[in-house]
A and B are shown apart, each in its own frame.
Chain A
Amino acid sequence: MSTPKISVRDVEKIFPVGNENFVALGGVSLDIADNEFVTVVGPSGCGKSTLLNILAGLEKPTGGTALVDGKPVSGPGPERGVIFQQYALFPWLTVRENVEFGMRTAKVPGDERRRRAEHFIRLVGLEQFADALPKTLSGGMKQRCAIARAYAVNPSILLMDEPFGALDALTRVRLQEQLLETWSKDRRTVMFITHDVDEAVFLANRVVVMGARPGRIVEVIDVDLPYPRDEDMRLSPEFGELRNRVWHSVYHQRQIKEPAQ
């Protein structure tokens, strides 16, 4: 079997909080295959964002290793695109300039850059807003722009940190469907963090359920529903069954250790 795209081995992250140590991640191991769509779901404080930041190279683990393509992560890199919950668009740049930002850093020549930006802006359906500033966009449009920006540097991995968490329910469902559509046209390895169980099941090949205190993986649940997925699937009994399983796994966790008071 080929090496996994992402391989997390016994990763540990301990922060000192006052005189005590807070174990954000206590020895987490996880493999993600190439072009797999994995969602990570868990209660707040389970270290899911920390895990993503470690893979993004924005934080360093205090123990264990995180490998991407068999090489240890030693900082951020353009092969790993990150999408943040707060959109993190540069407010002084237009949609097009935001999308071109990463290609500009990578010194992609002007013609090529414009062509690719155009392509990804169309892919997320923002062509009418290409020259608009972020402040004129709705939350959903901002996040679509952020997705185009991440795609434009052509990363083989997308790390998404609760990207739809701040959106209303309807926009969220639309964006989930669009994301799957984009992903099926242009496959990447995706690690998607969420606290929404429906979202986790709807999007993923596999759902990783995490628990808090210490941050750990509780269970990994395979989602063998075929793509493309649509609204009908959300109402199907198979989907409901999986959702109940994940829900149960997330919300009826036994605490390993009582929280230190």
Chain B
Amino acid sequence: MAVINADATRAATPRTRKSRTFLVLNIVSVVAGVAIWWGLSLAGLQFPSPAEVVAAGWTMIQDGSLVTDVGASLGRVLAGFALGSVAAVLVGFVMGWYTVARGLFEPWIQFFRTIPPLAMLPLVLVLMGIGESPKIFVIFLAAFLACVISTYQGVVSVDRTLINAGRVLGAGDGTIFARVVVPASTPFILVGMRVGLGSAWGTLVAAELLAAQAGLGHRMQSAQLYYDLPTIFVGIITIGVLGLIMDRLLMLAGNKLTAWQENR
């Protein structure tokens, strides 16, 4: 057994060996973390043990409440994030392309960027009521503000030579925009979208803590009233895992779309 392992390691390239070591360290770290958590809960700290949390999670899956909550939260975040990203890409392009638009949009974007989207929630709740729209709006704002500057940067920093190359090949403004500026700024847009997704997810949960009838944040909020720690843990872990999965999916899509970049 040991011999086979040693051979496999030797045959592997340095790169895969390195990433394998990395993966092993990751697993060791997670196992150790859970073990410490378990140890602390056994030592009498006011923590539920991992077993209790798993049990609570299982119950919530079986009675369907976890699925409902995840569905409600994901629906909001995806709606807000999609709207925010589309708007950010449009506005970012217009700002990067037209000086007039840049002058008009910039002060407002810079101003709203300094306000955490959640701070808008009281106002938005008053104006839009307590349905789905205020939450989606706040998430939209979070995703939009994170992504718009990045898109704009991407458009502004498109290599001048590429634009000239397009022009001398007979391309007009529209063609340059669609076939040079848009693809050249894709890497920037994707970075913006990743930041926007993180921001949207964080805003979502906080918005649900304050005002929602369903969703992961709401579930944790009501569990708090009953001192139901395992449910809170299930909520926290679910939020983390979902955020990680969404980020990785976006990263994979991004790698595929920008595989042409020189420095990869």
Given the interface contacts A84-B161, A92-B183, A92-B260, does A56 sit within 8 Å of B175 by beta carbon?
no
Max chain B C-beta neighbours (<10 A), residue from A75, A77, A135:
A135
Interchain CB contact under 8 A, B167 and A58: yes
B87 at the interface (CB under 8 A from A): no
Confirm or deny: B165 has a beta carbon within 8 angstroms of a beta carbon on chain A: yes
Report whether A88 and B161 are in contact in the complex, using a CB–CB cutoff of 8 Å: yes
Report B249-264 CB contacts with A as 1/0, cut-off 8 Å: 0000000000111101
Tell me the total A-B contact number using a CB cutoff of 8 A. Answer: 67
Instruction: Point out the residue from B159, B168, B262, B264 that lies within 8 Å of A82, measured CB to CB.
Output: B168
A78 to chain B, nearest CB (A): 4
Q: A91-B260, A101-B179, A135-B260 are in contact. Are A153 and B164 (CB under 8 A)?
A: no
Q: Is the interface of B mostly helix, strand, loop or mixed?
A: helix
The one of A81, A86, A106, A134 that contacts B168, using a Cβ cutoff of 8 Å:
A81
Which of the residues A90, A135, A153 comes within 8 Å of B170, measured between beta carbons?
A153
Contacts of A81 in B (CB 8 A): 168
Considering the chains assembled together, what is the distance between the CA atoms of A81 and B170 in angstroms? 9
> Which one of B165, B170, B260 lies within 8 Å of A106 (CB-CB)?
B170
Q: Mark B157-179, 1 if CB is under 8 A from A, else 0.
A: 00101101111111110010001
Does B260 contact A82, Cβ atoms closer than 8 Å? no
Bound Cα distance A229, B168 (Å): 30
The answer to whether A149 has its CB under 8 Å from any CB of chain B is: yes
Instruction: Please tell me the size bucket of the interface on A.
Output: 20 to 34
Q: Which residues of B contact A78 (CB under 8 A)?
A: 168-170
CB distance from B177 to the nearest CB of A (A): 13
| A105 touching B175, Cβ below 8 Å | yes
Question: Which residues on the A side are within 8 Å of B72 (C-beta)?
Answer: none
A80 and B168 form a contact (CB under 8 A): yes
Query: Which of B164, B169, B264 is A101 in contact with, Cβ under 8 Å?
Result: B169
A22-65 interface mask toward B, CB cutoff 8 Å, 1 = contact, 0 = none?
00000000000000000000000000000000001110000000
For residue A146, which residue of chain B has the nearest CB? B165
Is residue B180 contacting chain A, with contact meaning CB distance below 8 A?
yes
- Indicate if the CB atoms of A102 and B260 lie closer than 8 Å: no
Q: 29 A-B pairs, CB-CB below 8 angstroms? A: A58-B164, A58-B168, A75-B167, A76-B167, A76-B170, A80-B168, A81-B168, A84-B161, A84-B164, A86-B161, A88-B159, A88-B161, A90-B162, A90-B166, A90-B183, A91-B262, A92-B183, A92-B260, A101-B166, A101-B169, A101-B179, A102-B169, A105-B170, A105-B171, A106-B170, A133-B260, A134-B260, A149-B169, A153-B169
Q: Which residues of B contact A (CB under 8 A)?
A: 159, 161-162, 164-172, 175, 179-180, 183-184, 186, 259-262, 264
- Chain A residues in the interface with B (C-beta under 8 A): 56-58, 75-78, 80-82, 84, 86, 88-93, 101-102, 105-106, 133-135, 149, 153
A-B contact sample (9 more), CB < 8 A, given A57-B168, A90-B162, A92-B184: A76-B167, A80-B168, A82-B165, A86-B161, A88-B165, A90-B165, A91-B262, A92-B260, A101-B179
Nearest 5 pairs of A and B residues by beta carbon: A102-B169, A88-B165, A78-B170, A82-B168, A92-B260
